[in-house]
């Protein structure tokens, strides 16, 4: 099994996840939030802690994850 390095803290991690905003592969400790979304372009949104401090990116994430629950019939 390949061990990757986290793009944020540099820790070795067997299961990095790619942040949806900055596209870095980060370890689970650097992920602030992740959520499944029902969109044809994205299946899963991942937010690293760096991007979570970015207001514009946080808003984007909130918007993308919220739309599914609030407008279920669309």
Closer residue to Zn ion (CB): 59 or 72? 59
Q: Under the criterion CB under 5 A, does residue 45 sit at the interface with Zn ion?
A: no
* Alpha-carbon separation of residue 58 from 11, 32, 70 (angstroms): 24, 11, 18
Q: Under the criterion CB under 5 A, does residue 42 sit at the interface with Zn ion?
A: no
Token representation of residue 55: 């207001």
CB distance 53 to 34 below 8 Å:
no
Cβ at position 69, least distance to Zn ion in Å: 23
Q: Under the criterion CB under 5 A, does residue 46 sit at the interface with Zn ion?
A: no
* Alpha-carbon separation of residue 27 from 4, 48, 56 (angstroms): 9, 9, 23
Q: Under the criterion CB under 5 A, does residue 16 sit at the interface with Zn ion?
A: no
- Residues contributing to the site for Zn ion (CB under 5 A): 6, 8-9, 11, 19, 21-22, 27, 30, 48, 51
């Amino acid at each position: 099994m390949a061990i990757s390095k986290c793009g944020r803290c540099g820790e070795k991690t067997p299961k990095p996840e790619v942040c949806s905003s900055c596209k870095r592969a980060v370890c689970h400790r650097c992920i602030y939030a992740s959520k499944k979304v029902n969109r044809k372009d994205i299946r899963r949104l991942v937010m690293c802690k760096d991007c979570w401090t970015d207001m514009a990116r946080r808003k984007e994430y909130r918007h993308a994850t919220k739309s599914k629950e609030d407008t279920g019939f669309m």
